[in-house]
């Protein structure tokens, strides 16, 4: 059976009648010493409640810029971002962010890290620690509550970051390549964990990634972006059965989805490599 | 982090090795002086220094002087913590101010401030205030520079986490910047305290006023070398006390962050 592929760029990809996240015609231009350049151009898509959507693209396509715009960390862009129909400027309580770089607080224990947003919300100590314990157990770190991040592996620290963000109970979980620094096996297993949590909580999730396997394994839809300027090239509906786990990676349908997306992605990645080489050539040798 | 029995044994062994090394050094110096390798008129016998302790404690009122010097160091430490960390935070917050002042602050670290004691005497008189003021001035730049370094070294992603949780600037400072900079701030405080203490004892010695510095001056002028060294031991003790206190404070601050 051929995977179902929806070609929907550049028109907005409508996920449902009332999307939870609506990104409408977003563009971002930067002024650099080499001149102005467009990082992302006219990107529109929506994410429905409970949906898992991945944005995939080659390095330099503006994925992280898009992450920062949706998360409210970057302003001064064109277009609109709406959460549950309300336009947002700046950070929003409904969006919880998980960063690519290791971002646990090294001076706090696992439990204290996860309890951080609850502390901000003014929750009483006993209540917030009990609640934090629930999220620690959700990411499979029970027994490590009193450890400091320095005593954990990279994968465990990323799970602490995810638990901390989940503890703030965001409407939308926004993740920027959270497993990029991990080895492939850990990445697949943690992907399983994230999917399991997402299905359990029915958590609306937007994942920024450059990993094809990860995108297909986890997502309901994959948005493929072009190399600079980042535009939406294609939207692929992943119709693999739910509940899903890493076993799906070996299936024939999975392979067809990966091949389908790779076909588009290879073109963009090649363009990116050629652009990098041209830039290096233009810069000349270092004296 | 709880300590395992193996870690506790290793810590005890390190303490025992440290004490053993000091003891071996003392025995070696004693032997070298008795053998005539080290001139006994320049360096007194460690056994003579040990014998001078009761005399220094009873006749020279060393405990009172120890307390006087400790109080001066304590005041200087307090001023360093308040103004040093505060100014460091200001320099971090206002980039223009930092670019304008950082070089001057660094230059101040290398300046022999103790030589300005006549100016301080004119301003504050021959008093403990002069001693504290010089100690404070001597330690200030180290605290400022290490505070700026610690705050500026906070990882960008941690600040982004704070922004994503919509922290106010005050919360961002208290919950992220400050805990992240604490190790560097405490390094600065320890360095500042070293400079402050050297200058405090030095000025006590120079203006013949106050605690242990004045006592060392008196004993040295009497050429009572064993008692001089015994008094110097109490200066080292002040330093040890402040190091232990700052270490405990750092642990407490890390836990409370």
A39-55 in b/e burial notation, b at 16+ Cβ within 10 A? bbbbbbbbbbbebbbbb
**In chain B, alpha helices (H):** 5-34, 46-58, 62-79, 85-93, 95-110, 117-124, 128-152, 156-164, 169-172, 178-207, 212-221, 225-256
Q: Tell me, what's the pLDDT at A287?
A: 54
What is the distance between the alpha carbons of residues A97 and A170, in angstroms, rounded to a whole number? 9
B100 & B152 share domain: yes
Lowest mean pLDDT segment, chosen from B1-5, B112-116, B137-141: B1-5
Check whether A239 has a pLDDT greater than 70. Answer: yes
* A198-216 tens-digit pLDDT: 888 899 999 999 889 889 9
Its pTM stands at 0.84
* B217-236 tens-digit pLDDT: 999 999 999 999 999 999 99
> For B91, how many CA atoms within 13 A lie in the half-sphere containing its CB?
26
B29 & B104 share domain: no
* A17-43 tens-digit pLDDT: 589 999 999 999 998 887 888 999 999
The verdict on A103 touching B (C-beta cutoff 8 Å) is yes
If contacts are CB pairs under 8 Å, which of residues 265-284 in chain A contact chain B?
none
Over range B44-65, report the average pLDDT. Answer: 92
Which is more confidently placed, A241 or A236? A236
**Nearest beta carbon to residue B161 from set A95, A103, A148:** A103
Enumerate the residues of chain B whose CB falls inside 8 A of the CB of residue A105.
158, 161, 176, 179-180
Query: Is residue A50 included in any domain, yes or no?
Result: yes
Q: Binning pLDDT at 50, 70 and 90, where does residue B126 land?
A: very high
Q: Binning pLDDT at 50, 70 and 90, where does residue A101 land?
A: very high
Contact A151 B1 (CB under 8 A): yes
The CATH code of the domain that includes A82 is 3.40.50.300
CA gyration radius for chain B?
A: 22
Among chain A residues, the shortest Cα distance to B254 is held by A107
Q: Binning pLDDT at 50, 70 and 90, where does residue A248 land?
A: confident
The proportion of chain B whose per-residue pLDDT surpasses 90, expressed as a percent, equals 86
Among chain B residues, the shortest Cα distance to A165 is held by B165
Angle between helices B212-221 and B225-256 (to 10 degrees): 160
Q: Which residues pair with A87 in a beta bridge?
A: A82
Query: Cα dist. A68→A82, A217, A254 in Å?
Result: 14, 24, 30
Query: Is residue A180 included in any domain, yes or no?
Result: yes
A261 & A125 share domain: no
Asked if A238 contacts A222 with a C-beta cutoff of 8 angstroms, the reply is: yes
Asked if B85 contacts B250 with a C-beta cutoff of 8 angstroms, the reply is: no
The verdict on A101 touching B (C-beta cutoff 8 Å) is yes
A198 & A179 share domain: yes
What is the distance between the alpha carbons of residues B87 and B147, in angstroms, rounded to a whole number? 9
* A161-197 tens-digit pLDDT: 999 999 999 999 999 998 887 888 888 888 888 888 8
Query: Is residue B49 included in any domain, yes or no?
Result: no
A64 & A179 share domain: yes
A147 to chain B, minimum CA–CA distance in Å?
7
Contact A97 B180 (CB under 8 A): no
B34 & B93 share domain: no
Check whether A16 has a pLDDT greater than 60. Answer: no
The verdict on A151 touching B (C-beta cutoff 8 Å) is yes
**3-class DSSP assignment, residue B135:** helix
Asked if B38 contacts B29 with a C-beta cutoff of 8 angstroms, the reply is: yes
* B134-151 tens-digit pLDDT: 999 999 999 999 999 999
Query: Is residue B50 included in any domain, yes or no?
Result: no
Asked if A148 contacts A90 with a C-beta cutoff of 8 angstroms, the reply is: no
The total number of structural domains that make up chain B: 2
The top-scoring range by mean pLDDT among A52-56, A239-243, A280-284 is A52-56
B1 & B88 share domain: no
Query: Is residue B48 included in any domain, yes or no?
Result: no
Enumerate the residues of chain A whose CB falls inside 8 A of the CB of residue B175.
116
What is the distance between the alpha carbons of residues B252 and B238, in angstroms, rounded to a whole number? 21
* A44-74 tens-digit pLDDT: 999 999 999 999 998 888 999 999 999 999 9
B85 & B37 share domain: no
A119 & A238 share domain: no
Over range B117-134, report the average pLDDT. Answer: 94
A131 & A226 share domain: no
* B16-25 tens-digit pLDDT: 999 999 999 9
Residue ranges of chain B whose CB lies within 8 Å of a chain A CB:
1, 155, 157-158, 160-161, 163-167, 171, 175-176, 179-180, 182, 254, 257
Q: Tell me, what's the pLDDT at A8?
A: 41
Which residue in this structure is represented by tokens 């404690």? B57
A111 & A177 share domain: no
Over range B178-199, report the average pLDDT. Answer: 95
| Phi then psi dihedrals of residue A35, to 5 deg | 120, 170
Q: Tell me, what's the pLDDT at A17?
A: 59
**3-class DSSP assignment, residue B23:** helix
Mutate which: B165, B170, B254, B255, vs A, most A CBs within 10 A: B165
Query: Is residue A127 included in any domain, yes or no?
Result: yes
Residue from B136, B113, B133, B111 nearest B123 by CA: B133
The proportion of chain B whose per-residue pLDDT surpasses 70, expressed as a percent, equals 99
The verdict on A239 touching B (C-beta cutoff 8 Å) is no
Computed over every residue of chain B, the mean pLDDT equals 93
What is the distance between the alpha carbons of residues A169 and B23, in angstroms, rounded to a whole number? 60
Contact B257 A107 (CB under 8 A): yes
The CATH code of the domain that includes B166 is 1.10.3720.10
- Say if residue A1 is exposed, middle or buried (CB neighbours under 10 Å; 0-12, 13-18, 19+): exposed
Asked if A238 contacts A220 with a C-beta cutoff of 8 angstroms, the reply is: yes
Q: Tell me, what's the pLDDT at B6?
A: 84
B116 & B222 share domain: yes
A192 & A89 share domain: yes
DSSP for residue A104: -
What is the distance between the alpha carbons of residues B180 and A251, in angstroms, rounded to a whole number? 46
A113 to chain B, minimum CA–CA distance in Å?
11
Q: Binning pLDDT at 50, 70 and 90, where does residue A2 land?
A: very low
> For A209, how many CA atoms within 13 A lie in the half-sphere containing its CB?
26
**Token representation of residue B208:** 């013949």
**ipTM of the prediction:** 0.87
B7 & B91 share domain: no
Handedness of CA A267, A273, A277, A279 (dihedral sign): positive
Q: How many CB atoms lie within 10 A of CB B162?
A: 23
Asked if A195 contacts A244 with a C-beta cutoff of 8 angstroms, the reply is: yes
B38 & B121 share domain: no
Check whether B95 has a pLDDT greater than 60. Answer: yes
Q: Which long-range contacts (CB under 8 A, 24 or more apart) does B3-11 make?
A: none
B31 & B2 share domain: yes
Contact A148 B179 (CB under 8 A): no
Contact B157 A103 (CB under 8 A): yes
A94-109 in b/e burial notation, b at 16+ Cβ within 10 A? bbbbbbbbbbbbbbbb
Query: Is residue A22 included in any domain, yes or no?
Result: yes
Which residue in this structure is represented by tokens 């990279």? A154
Range of the domain at B64: 56-256
A112 & A193 share domain: no
Check whether A9 has a pLDDT greater than 50. Answer: no
A193 to chain B, minimum CA–CA distance in Å?
22
**Nearest beta carbon to residue B1 from set A96, A107, A148:** A148
How many Cβ pairs within 8 Å bridge chains A and B?
A: 49
A137 & A183 share domain: no
Contact A73 B164 (CB under 8 A): yes
Check whether B52 has a pLDDT greater than 90. Answer: yes
Query: Is residue B123 included in any domain, yes or no?
Result: yes
Residue from A14, A65, A57 nearest A40 by CA: A65
Which is more confidently placed, B91 or A243? B91
Enumerate the residues of chain A whose CB falls inside 8 A of the CB of residue B155.
101, 103
Enumerate the residues of chain A whose CB falls inside 8 A of the CB of residue B180.
105-107
Check whether A286 has a pLDDT greater than 80. Answer: no
**Nearest beta carbon to residue A97 from set B164, B167, B175:** B164
**3-class DSSP assignment, residue A169:** coil
A90 & A2 share domain: yes
Asked if B184 contacts B149 with a C-beta cutoff of 8 angstroms, the reply is: yes
Contact B257 A96 (CB under 8 A): no
Among chain B residues, the shortest Cα distance to A168 is held by B165
B11 & B71 share domain: no
What is the distance between the alpha carbons of residues B154 and B166, in angstroms, rounded to a whole number? 18
What is the distance between the alpha carbons of residues A61 and A258, in angstroms, rounded to a whole number? 19
What is the distance between the alpha carbons of residues A179 and A183, in angstroms, rounded to a whole number? 8
Asked if A236 contacts A261 with a C-beta cutoff of 8 angstroms, the reply is: yes
Q: Tell me, what's the pLDDT at B72?
A: 96
The total number of structural domains that make up chain A: 2
Range of the domain at A265: 1-94+172-269
Strand duo A78-83 + A86-87: pairing = antiparallel
Among A130, A154, A169, the domain boundary falls at A169
A123 & A221 share domain: no
Query: Is residue B95 included in any domain, yes or no?
Result: yes
Enumerate the residues of chain A whose CB falls inside 8 A of the CB of residue B164.
71-73, 91, 95-97
The proportion of chain A whose per-residue pLDDT surpasses 90, expressed as a percent, equals 59
């Amino acid at each position: 059976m051929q995977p179902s592929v929806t070609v929907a760029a550049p028109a907005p990809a409508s996920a449902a009648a009332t999307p939870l996240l609506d990104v409408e015609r977003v563009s971002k231009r930067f002024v650099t010493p080499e001149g102005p350049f467009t990082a992302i151009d006219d990107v529109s898509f929506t994410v429905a409640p409970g949906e898992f959507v991945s944005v995939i693209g080659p390095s330099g396509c503006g994925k992280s810029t898009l992450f920062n715009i949706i998360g409210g960390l970057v302003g001064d862009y064109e277009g609109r971002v709406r959460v549950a129909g309300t336009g947002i400027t700046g950070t929003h309580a409904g969006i919880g962010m998980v960063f690519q770089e290791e971002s646990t607080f090294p001076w706090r224990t696992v439990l204290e890290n996860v309890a951080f947003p609850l502390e901000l919300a003014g929750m009483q100590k006993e209540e917030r620690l009990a609640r934090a314990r629930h999220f620690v157990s959700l990411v499979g770190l029970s027994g490590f509550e009193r450890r400091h991040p320095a005593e954990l592996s990279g994968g465990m620290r990323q799970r602490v970051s995810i638990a901390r963000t989940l503890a703030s109970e965001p409407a939308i979980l926004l993740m920027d390549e959270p497993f990029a620094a991990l080895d492939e096996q850990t990445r697949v297993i943690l992907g399983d964990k994230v999917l399991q949590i997402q299905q359990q909580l029915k958590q609306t999730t937007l994942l920024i990634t450059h990993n094809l396997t990860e995108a297909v394994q986890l997502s309901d839809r994959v948005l493929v972006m072009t190399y600079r300027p980042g535009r939406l090239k294609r939207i692929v509906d992943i119709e693999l059965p739910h509940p899903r786990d890493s076993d799906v990676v070996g299936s024939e349908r999975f392979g067809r989805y990966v091949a389908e997306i790779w076909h588009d992605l290879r073109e963009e990645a090649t363009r990116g490599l050629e652009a990098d080489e041209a830039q290096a050539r233009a810069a000349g040798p270092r004296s | 982090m709880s300590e395992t029995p193996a870690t506790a044994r290793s810590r005890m062994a390190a303490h025992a090795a440290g004490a053993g090394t000091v003891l071996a050094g003392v025995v070696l110096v004693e032997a070298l002086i008795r053998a005539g390798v080290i001139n006994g008129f320049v360096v007194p016998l460690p056994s003579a220094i040990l014998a001078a302790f009761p005399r220094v404690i009873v006749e020279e009122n060393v405990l009172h002087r120890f307390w006087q010097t400790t109080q001066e160091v304590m005041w200087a430490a307090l001023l360093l913590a308040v103004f040093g960390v505060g100014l460091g935070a200001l320099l971090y917050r206002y980039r223009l101010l930092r670019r304008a002042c950082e070089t001057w602050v660094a230059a101040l670290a290398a300046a022999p401030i103790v030589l300005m004691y006549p100016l301080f005497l004119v301003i504050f008189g021959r008093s403990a205030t002069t001693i504290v003021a010089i100690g404070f001035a001597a330690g200030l730049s180290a605290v400022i520079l290490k505070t700026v370094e610690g705050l500026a070294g906070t990882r960008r992603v941690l600040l982004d986490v704070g922004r994503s949780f919509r922290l106010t600037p005050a919360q961002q400072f208290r919950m992220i910047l400050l805990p992240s900079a604490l190790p560097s701030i405490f390094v600065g405080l320890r360095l500042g305290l070293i400079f402050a203490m050297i200058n405090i004892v030095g000025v006590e010695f120079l203006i013949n006023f106050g605690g242990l510095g004045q006592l060392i001056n008196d004993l040295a002028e009497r050429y009572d070398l064993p008692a001089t060294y015994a008094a110097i031991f109490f200066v080292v003790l002040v330093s040890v006390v402040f190091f232990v206190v700052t270490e405990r404070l750092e642990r407490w601050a890390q836990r409370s962050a």
